[in-house]
Amino acid sequence: MRFIAILLWLTAFAAQPALAATSPKLSSLEQQLSSLLAGKSADVGIAALDLATGETVSVNGDKAFPMASTMKVAVAAAYLSQVDHGRRSLDDRISGRSARSLMERMMVYSDNHATDILIRDLGGPNAIDEWVRWQGVSKFRVDRTIAQLLRARRDLWDNRDSATPMAMVDLLKRLDKGQVLKPWSRSYLLDMMVRCKTGKNRIRGMLPGGTRVEHKTGTLNGYASDVGFITLPNGRRVAIAIFARGGSDRPGTIARTARAVYDGFSRLLTWPSFGSGTPQPAGAR
């Protein structure tokens, strides 16, 4: 029976369509992003997906980049899925601290030690990697604890502990759609992401004041990233992943990229009539 159950799960995930490359309606945004990056020395990967329509934009979206601390989204989701199935609780004591406090430290303050405690409790990096694959997400690898990653010789082209921007957005989409977590756990994860204290100069950096952003950053020497969700003026939400290695002003590049994505998706999604028969400009409510 267990074999049959596993087969059914795998069949269900295999039946789900993979995220497509840039949608035709967003080809101009793709060109804009490519032009924005053309003068940059950094190697940048971008993927963004409208969670309501499935419209997607991607630049280097299938190239593997280090995840750094953005992988903490997967750690949090893996633990919360155990909570959903009654195998763990946020009140469990792990190394003298509650799982809830460890989760908050990991997602809000990007605490590496709290992350590694949770990874160890879940069975180590391989357990997180297997959990991600179980969700049907490919091109997403978890190979080491944060401590092991930071002790290793820095190689920003190492495929270990990497993901493509499209793979990260795929995981974010599954989290948002309720394919991974029950409603309470999903809301709890998003609440921690909206309270993220790191990277205010990245995805959030150039967005209009008051824009809701649920995100998680990643940082290494010579590398910066930010992944999460942006809410557009019309209420629709976009899952986004931006990875940047090498070059200079990586946070600024991420901020400008996020603003271009925000404006591009807003223009696309505000063309329908809102009573006046006139297309709404980007940013209109």
| Distance (Å, whole) CA 213 – CA 190 | 9
Give the torsion sign (CA, 223, 227, 231, 237). Answer: positive
Amino acid identity of residue 127, one-letter, is: A
User: What local confidence, expressed as pLDDT, does residue 276 receive?
Assistant: 33
Query: What is the pLDDT of the chain when averaged over all its residues?
Result: 89
Within a domain: 1: no
User: What local confidence, expressed as pLDDT, does residue 206 receive?
Assistant: 98
Within a domain: 256: yes
Q: Which two tokens stand for residue 263?
A: 């404006």
- When divided into structural domains, the chain yields a total of 1
Crossing angle of the two packed helices 72-84 and 183-194, in degrees rounded to 10: 150
Query: What is the length of the chain?
Result: 285
- Whether 12 shows a pLDDT value over 60: the answer reads no
Rounded to two decimals, what is the model's pTM?
Answer: 0.88
Within a domain: 239: yes
The CATH number of the domain holding residue 256 is 3.40.710.10
> Is the separation of the CB atoms in 76 and 187 below 8 Å?
no
Within a domain: 9: no
| Distance (Å, whole) CA 59 – CA 66 | 16
> Is the separation of the CB atoms in 237 and 230 below 8 Å?
yes
Mean pLDDT across the stretch 4-19? 40
| Distance (Å, whole) CA 160 – CA 157 | 9
User: What local confidence, expressed as pLDDT, does residue 60 receive?
Assistant: 96
- For residue 90, with 0-12 CB atoms within 10 Å meaning exposed, 13-18 middle and 19 or more buried, which class applies? middle
How confident is the model over 55-111, as pLDDT tens digits? 999 999 999 999 999 999 999 999 999 999 999 999 999 999 999 999 999 999 999
Instruction: List C-alpha distances in Å: 103 to 29, 111, 163, 173.
Output: 36, 9, 22, 21
Within a domain: 12: no
Within a domain: 192: yes
Give the torsion sign (CA, 95, 196, 19, 145). Answer: negative
Within a domain: 113: yes
User: What local confidence, expressed as pLDDT, does residue 134 receive?
Assistant: 96
State the residue range of the domain holding 45. Answer: 21-269
- For residue 119, with 0-12 CB atoms within 10 Å meaning exposed, 13-18 middle and 19 or more buried, which class applies? buried
The dihedrals phi and psi of 231, each to the nearest 5 degrees, come to -95, 125
- Whether 284 shows a pLDDT value over 60: the answer reads no
How confident is the model over 165-194, as pLDDT tens digits? 999 999 999 999 999 999 999 999 999 999
Within a domain: 278: no
| Distance (Å, whole) CA 186 – CA 111 | 21
Question: Which band of pLDDT confidence, cut at 50, 70 and 90, is reported for residue 269?
Answer: low
Residue 197 CB neighbours (<10 A): 10
How confident is the model over 114-148, as pLDDT tens digits? 999 999 999 999 999 999 999 999 999 999 999 99
